[in-house]
Structure 1
Amino acid sequence: MDEHEQGDAPPVAELVRDHVSAGGDVAEEQGEPPQALLSGFAGDGPAKRKRKRRRKRGRRRVFVRDGAECETRPQPAAAVPPTGSSEPETLRRGRAYAARLTYSRSDETFYAALDLGTNNCRLLVATPGRPGCFRVVDAFSRIVRLGEGLSSSGRLTQAAMDRAVEALAVCAEKLGNRRLAGLRMIATEACRSAENGGHFIERVHSETGLSLEIIDRRTEARLAVSGCSSLVTRETDGLVLFDIGGGSSEIALIDLSRHRTPRLADHIVSWTSLPVGVVSLAERFGGRDVTRERFEAMVAHVSAMLERFDGGGRLAHLVSGERFHLLGTSGTVTTLAGVHLGLRRYDRRRVDGLWMERDNVDRMIETILGWSFEQRKANPCIGAERADLVLAGCAILEAIRRQWPAERLRVADRGLREGMLNEMMARDGVWRRRKRPRVEAG
């Protein structure tokens, strides 16, 4: 797959859904969205690419086998199932690969970030690129609906946990094939709020070898901001960044009108995490057959939560200005963008960084609200897995838009994983530029 560069600050996002669901290899430079490429970066010329290929062919690659260096990639040992075991093959392979995870510093440095949410399990593996950017070399995404039934029972169901563990085993296999300089794996609202969330984390470690960290809501909001930082332009004075998840929705108010630093998270003036997401809201009000009255009831439910947010007025001096906008990162806004563009197949390159005017958002919500469940299911940007959730997401979005009216919404197909990768690479100083040798005048 062709590489493309993006950005001026650490970031990225989810690749084409059909591709990553199949677990395909990818190579993509992350940072600024594709629109920026058209006016700035022109790409490497043929001669430069040829020199790069020659250098790559001459580079000695070193791997590790049984603690010793070798020049050929170690082949994974075949998993031998115990006699009479009914355990899925993916779990056995995942444990075998996770046990082989190694961390090293080398010329080819890999970082990995895994996010297990209420609805999705996502993984990104990347290597640092030019300052402020990284190149995605592998990705995985699967809808697991870990939080299914959680809002009514307070517990993760056996079927939901089984689906998540199977997806995590695939991630373990992918991670086991890499020598990693940094790895962070997080779990969010479903594991935070479930009575048996801790037990599930222990099961994941036992069956896949992966150790997930349940993060708090403040950390989740900060990572979402970090993951989307390259989509905030210098012309922006203020924005409301929101991440509509499966079980919770994080909202950060960002004021850039005063002294500006490179780190977007430094400018968060207020934040909140609503205990509602597309899965929990759809389970409460119904997501399959949604009337206009039911949709308004969902909007009112979320609006009541926002009214209790004490810091919601911190951007009142900027909201009416032209240099204020909303920035959304979630399946809800990327779905709206795909429908708006009339895509026959979801294409992240066209969606990530897209600007949508207020009228366009109004029209898309109205269009989807007017569709039947079968029509939503048939749309290639919604599909069967999101058909019963998309209107709940639209209701959360509408409540946010009513609270902070803005003329424009920017769409981000990126989020927590990108934030984790940014923070790990910044922590290790991989983007620090080497000082050039001083030349004395003679």
Structure 2
Amino acid sequence: MDGQTEGAAAPDWGPFGRPLFADPEAQDLSRVGVVDVGSNSVRMVVFDGAARSPAYFYNEKIMCALGSGLSETGRLNPEGRTRAKGALARFAKLGEGMNVSSLTVVATAAVREAEDGADFCDEIERKTGLTVHVIDGNEEARLSAQGVLLGWPGSYGLVCDIGGSSMELADLADGQVGRRLTSPLGPLKLKTVSGGKKGLKAHIKGIVSTLHANMAEETGMRLFLVGGSWRAIARVDMERRGYPLTVLHEYRMTTRQVAETREYIETADIEALRGKLSISAERMSLVPLAVLVLDQVVKTFKPKDITVSSYGIREGMLYEQMPEAMRLRDPLIEACRFAENKDARLPGFGAKLYDFVAPLFPRADWQKKRIIRAACLLHDVSWRAHPDYRPEVCFDNATRANLGGLKHWERVYLGLALLHRYTNKREGSRYEPLFSLLEDRELKEAEVLGKAMRLGAMLWLAGGGVPAALTWRSQKKVLEIKVAPEGRQLFGEVAEKRFAALVSSLGAEGKVIRPRD
């Protein structure tokens, strides 16, 4: 991803490219507020931080169920409407206090379909000053797909966004949003379908079959799941499988796992499951219906893999405001560079450290290189933590942080490398269950990276020059470090021990070439 910009980067920035967060265009996006008025919830998000991979400065959701009963009455749920008005008044006031210049507010299926939807929008503007933009299903699908692109530039596949009253599909190819469709498959609407469970399943199957035909019968693609009901199902799947990392973004399921989780939900004590997983009662009430939709979608479209995206319509609204050059940047690298600039003791050192450790990974592809770069950028951002807990803090930050563009195994790889930046051992760690997401080769590789960063951190000061360089002869299993004259005094007793630890992790012979006196 970041390879698209490396060629145009100023040479002095090396493989990392010029940082974006200091650019005026990026600073204009430093605090962006968006509100999504959905059929089930009303949520406000204020984005802040790294321009390409912004942090959630503020995030609040209120379950209003505006679309509950809409199919029968044609109007917004009265109680939900009252709650939504209160939520929007609160959000408008919060935006003022956070110096958000304006809140972009969009409303989706419930408001656009209700006969009193326009009246609701007028009332909100009169009482709060907020303009509610009612978008159609195609626009909703487009924004949700753009939210996926915020986390995965250049993605391809099918985005499936479920809300309370509708479900949208959007095709992604070469990082562009293509065909888009909307359907009445939101679980709030499905509650009113007659004919019992058999009638409900037939109703869902018929609509999904029509969607499949109109999407040119795409099969074998990646399926991105967007929406709170999908995330709740994924959380249930994690519980059923005993999955060790409960980060929903980039969680993956197979068609078989979806079917098994549907069966699990059908026989489970929903209330007990809800309490165990800390899912709201309003959300959990929709899960048994939503899982029938998901099961039919994966049976019909036959995706090669299924990925949960925490990014959706709100992130798509932010993506809409980004200049094209910013959209093409790697969200992981930009977020890590922002963290280094904000929290590291020596901002900018990550680029030097990457050059130092890179010879150890001569066969790394671009995907592995970006993880190595991320580790080098993050290697020192947790220095304020107590030394006894610094390895754990580093691991937690990497595995559970709000970072885009990271698969789950890559999170653990990154976290383990940073853990080894501060300690030689990982045995006995409370994180051992997470290590099962890595192959033995990846465990060893992350250890090597961590120990190489630990060594490299000993050898640089703020000045220029290269005090030492590594040469790795993998065939002969020989690791050589050549100490430059300016590194003579830096390569002392502690550095020698760290070099020996790195050599041991490689199962190699170590050679030190010192400058002549």
Does TM, scored on the shorter chain, surpass 0.5? Answer: yes
Please, which of 166, 170, 187 is the counterpart of residue 252 of structure 1?
Answer: 170
State whether residues 151 and 311 of structure 2, in contact with CA within 8 Å, keep that contact through their aligned partners in structure 1: no
Name the CA shift for 1:245/1:348 in 2 (closer, same or farther; >3 Å). Answer: farther
Measure, in 2, the Cα distance between the counterparts of 1:250 and 1:432: 25
> 1 CA distance for matches of 2:75 and 2:139?
23
What residue number does 1:173 align with?
93
Describe how 1:49-68 pairs up with structure 2 within 5 A.
none
Is structure 2 residue 84 aligned with structure 1 residue 127?
A: no
How far does residue 313 in structure 1 lie from its aligned partner after superposition? 4.9
Pairs within 5 Å for 1:398-417: 398-417=295-314
What SS does the aligned partner of 1:115 have? Answer: strand
Residue pair 1:117, 1:189 contacting (<8 A) in 2 also:
yes
Q: 2:228 aligns with which of 325, 331, 334?
A: 331
**In the alignment, what sits opposite 2:36?**
115
Give 1:205 shift: 1.5
Q: Residue 358 of structure 1 aligns with which residue?
A: 255
Q: Which residue of 2 aligns with 1:271?
A: 180
The match for 2:141 among 202, 221, 233 is 221
Which AA in structure 2 matches 1:184? T
Deviation at 1:385, TM superposition (A): 1.8
Q: By how many angstroms is 1:364 displaced?
A: 1.2
Pair 1:297 & 2:199 matched: yes
Instruction: Quote how far apart the aligned CAs of 1:373 are.
Output: 4.2
Please say if residues 282 and 388 of structure 1, whose CA atoms lie closer than 8 Å, have aligned partners that are also in contact. Answer: no
Give RMSD over aligned pairs.
3.4
Distance (whole Å) between structure 1 residues aligned to residue 2 and residue 73 of structure 2:
45
Distance in 1, Cα, partners of 2:29 & 2:146: 24
Q: 1:120 to 1:328 in 2, by over 3 A?
A: same
Q: What is the CA-CA distance between 1:294 and the residue it aligns to?
A: 4.0
Larger RCO, structure (CA 8 Å, separation 6 or more): 1
* TM-score, L = length of structure 1: 0.63
Residues 331-373 of structure 1 deviation map (CA, whole Å, 9 limit, x = unaligned): 2221122122229xxx997111111122222211110111244
Q: Residue 112 of structure 1 aligns to which amino acid in structure 2?
A: G
Which ranges of structure 2 fall in alignment gaps of 5 or more residues?
A: 4-15, 17-21, 330-517
Determine if contact 2:92/2:103 at 8 Å carries over to the other structure: no
Residues 381 and 404 (structure 1 numbering): CA distance in 2 closer, same or farther, change over 3 Å? farther
CA contact (8 A) 1:111 1:126 kept: yes
Gaps of 5+ in 1: 1-6, 10-40, 42-54, 56-103, 286-292, 434-442
The verdict on how the C-alpha distance between 1:137 and 1:374 changes in structure 2, with shifts beyond 3 A counting, is closer
- Moved runs in structure 1, 4+ residues, more than 6 A? 104-108, 429-433
Between the aligned residues of both structures, percent identity stands at 26
User: 2:293 — aligned with what?
Assistant: 396
Q: Offset of 1:402 from its aligned partner?
A: 2.2
When Rg is computed on C-alpha atoms for both structures, the one with the higher figure is 2
Q: Give yes or no for contact 1:191–1:214 (8 Å, CA) kept in 2.
A: yes
CA distance in 1, matches of 2:121, 2:268: 39
| Aligned mates of 2:139, 2:250 — CA distance in 1 | 23
1:367 to 264, 267, 287: 264
Contact kept? 1:113, 1:420, Cα under 8 Å: yes
Separation (CA, whole Å) in 1 of partners of 2:28 and 2:118: 38
CA contact (8 A) 2:193 2:199 kept: no
In 1, are the aligned partners of 2:167 and 2:184 still within 8 Å (CA)?
Answer: yes
Q: For this pair of structures, how many residues does the alignment match?
A: 310
State whether residues 147 and 190 of structure 1, in contact with CA within 8 Å, keep that contact through their aligned partners in structure 2: yes
Which residue matches 1:288? none
Q: Structure 1 residues 362, 201: CA separation in 2 closer, same or farther (over 3 Å shift)?
A: same
Q: Given the alignment, which residue of 272, 280, 291 partners 2:189?
A: 280
TM-score when scaled to structure 2?
0.54
Q: Give how far 1:394 is off.
A: 0.9
Instruction: Provide the C-alpha distance between the structure 2 equivalents of 1:431 and 1:361, rounded to a whole number of angstroms.
Output: 32
Partner in structure 1 of residue 216 of structure 2: 314
The structure in which a higher percent of residues are helix is 2
